[in-house]
Amino acid sequence: MYKIDLHLHTTHSDGNLSPSELIDLCYTNGLRHIAITDHDSTEGIQESINYSNKYPDLEIIPGIELSTDFEGAEIHMLGFFINYKDKSLQKILNDFRDSRLNRAYFIVEKLKSFDIDISWNRVLEISNQGAVGRPHIAQAMVEKGYVKYPKEAFEKYLGRDQIGYISRAKFTPEQSIDLIMKYDGIPVIAHPTYIVQKSDNPIKDLEKILSNLKITGLKGVEVYYNDYTKDQIKSLLNTTKKLDLIPCGGSDYHASGNPNEIIPGTVGPPIETLVKLKKIKNSF
Ligand code: AMP
Ligand code: ZN
Ligand code: FE
Ligand code: FE
């Protein structure tokens, strides 16, 4: 049914499937155009492209997901067709990953003062030299029995308002849009309803945020996403139409081990989305 998934993670960040495992799953589930969008890393892209030779009718879209700070909350920015071969981009992404490593270390230390004793070496092992994230810490906590699922670790300890949370210096959404465009990528805002979770009137706020980001260069919005309801999708679709942004989407699959995880092939944007993205790409 769904042929396109524009949001997927691998072991190069906090996904639990290697590029080849992910690609096999996506292909088996009917997908034919997939974007690899690891956090602060494009290390899985060449590997994915090489492996996809096994499936001549499968297209791999190079992508990235960057976390940004926005008014005490977080906005994630996807960059499609980014020039992942550029050395200066790789230097920047390396720095981002170093800052993740530092932050993860301090989270593990902080957790100790709350009697959560997980081994830093184990977290490193789980992250397997990919971009370290809180899901790796969560997995170490599951292994030691502190929580049943990674999700529970976020709810009790690692979430933004929880005791184990530590922030790290991040770009603003505008800076991340600039960065993605500098390397020929198309900036698309990820899972936008998370940003306005606590707002009384989310859609109105969101419209303002999106129209401001469009001035900087934002080209699209994730509309067909993960567990969004029909109403959420409808409302986001209206917003993107009004602002003339491209409605994108995907499963944001991590193979996280959380119950009821949405799997690749069960959500995604229509084919016109990809046509529009490619039209922009070809105009560069
Ligand atoms: P980090 O990159 O360290 O800030 O961690 C963010 C990642 O953690 C996201 O990309 C998700 O994969 C995961 N995550 C965030 N919030 C939750 C949650 N409430 N439950 C499970 N996973 C989450
Ligand atoms: Zn993630
Ligand atoms: Fe995200
Ligand atoms: Fe993601």
Q: What is the CATH number of the domain that holds 131?
A: 1.10.150.650
Same domain, 77 and 103: no
Share of the chain above pLDDT 70, in %: 97
Question: How confident is the model at residue 197, as a pLDDT?
Answer: 56
Determine the Cα–Cα distance for residues 130 and 119; give it in Å rounded to an integer. Answer: 17
29 φ, ψ (degrees, to nearest 5)? -85, 5
Measure the CA–CA gap between 6 and 152, rounded to whole angstroms: 27
Query: Residue 237 forms beta bridges with which residues?
Result: none
pLDDT-based confidence at 1, cuts 50/70/90?
A: confident
Identify whether residues 115 and 77 lie together within a single domain.
no
Residue 101 near residue 77 (C-beta atoms within 8 A): no
- Average of per-residue pLDDT across 216-231: 96
Average of pLDDT values for 45-74?
96
Q: Is 130 in the pocket of ligand 1 (CB under 6 A)?
A: no
What pLDDT was estimated at residue 71? 87
Report the share of the chain in percent with pLDDT over 90: 92
Is 132 strand, coil or helix? coil
Domain with 150 in it: 94-158
Structural domains counted in the chain: 2
51 lines ligand 1 (CB under 6 A): no
Mean pLDDT of 192-219: 80
- Residue 88 falls inside a structural domain: no
Per-residue pLDDT band for 73 (boundaries 50, 70, 90) equals confident
Using a 6 Å cutoff on CB, does residue 133 contact ligand 1? yes
Regarding whether 245 and 183 lie in a shared domain, the answer is: yes
Identify whether residues 203 and 255 lie together within a single domain.
Answer: yes
Is the pLDDT confidence value at 167 over 90? yes
- Cα 191 to Cα 199: distance, rounded to the nearest angstrom: 15
Report the nearest-CA residue for atom 21 of ligand 1: 151
Enumerate residues with CB within 5 Å of ligand 4 (an ion). Answer: 65, 252
User: Are residue 179 and residue 275 in the same domain, yes or no?
Assistant: yes
- Mean pLDDT for 175-198 is 90
Whether residue 129 is contained in a domain is answered as yes
| 89 lies in some domain | no
**Residue after which a domain boundary falls, among 158, 178, 204:** 158
What's the rounded mean pLDDT across residues 43-69? 98
Q: Distance between CA 9 and CA 65 in Å, rounded?
A: 9
Q: Where are the alpha helices (DSSP H) in 228-284?
A: 230-243, 271-282
Task: Look at residue 200 and tell me whether its pLDDT is greater than 60.
Answer: no
Query: Are both 103 and 175 inside the same structural domain?
Result: no
- The reply to whether 98 and 184 lie within a common domain is no
Q: Among 137, 158, 179, where does a domain finish?
A: 158
Q: Assess whether 26 and 98 both reside in one domain.
A: no
Residues 194 and 242 in one domain: yes
Q: Is 243 contained in some domain?
A: yes
Packing angle of the helix pair 120-127, 134-143 (nearest 10 deg): 120
| pLDDT recorded at residue 228 | 94
Bridge-based pairing of strands 186-189 and 73-80 is: antiparallel
The single-letter code of the amino acid at 239 is: T
Which one, of 87, 12, 1, 3, lies nearest residue 254 by Cα? 12
Domain annotation covers residue 222: yes
The confidence band for 203, taking pLDDT boundaries of 50, 70 and 90, is low
If asked whether residues 46 and 137 sit together in one domain, one would say no
Closest atom of ligand 1 relative to the 14 alpha carbon: 12
Residues 19 and 74 in one domain: yes
Does residue 126 form part of some domain? yes
- Confidence band of 220 (pLDDT split at 50, 70, 90): very high
Same domain, 178 and 275: yes
In a domain, 203, yes or no: yes
Atom number, ligand 1, closest to the C-alpha of residue 131? 2
pLDDT digits (tens, 9 = 90+) for 104-160: 999 999 999 999 999 999 999 999 999 999 999 999 999 999 999 999 999 999 999
Residue 196 confidence class, pLDDT cut points 50, 70, 90: low
| pLDDT at site 194 | 78
What's the mean pLDDT when you consider all of the chain?
Answer: 95
**Using H for helix, E for strand and C for coil, what is the string for 46-106?**
HHHHHHHHHCCCCEEEEEEEEEEEECCEEEEEEEECCCCCCHHHHHHHHHHHHHHHHHHHH
Task: Please give the pLDDT value at position 147.
Answer: 98
Last residue of a domain, one of 108, 125, 158: 158
Phi then psi dihedrals of residue 146, to 5 deg: -70, -30
CA neighbours closer than 13 Å in the CB half-sphere of residue 3:
10
- Residue 163 belongs to some domain of the structure: no
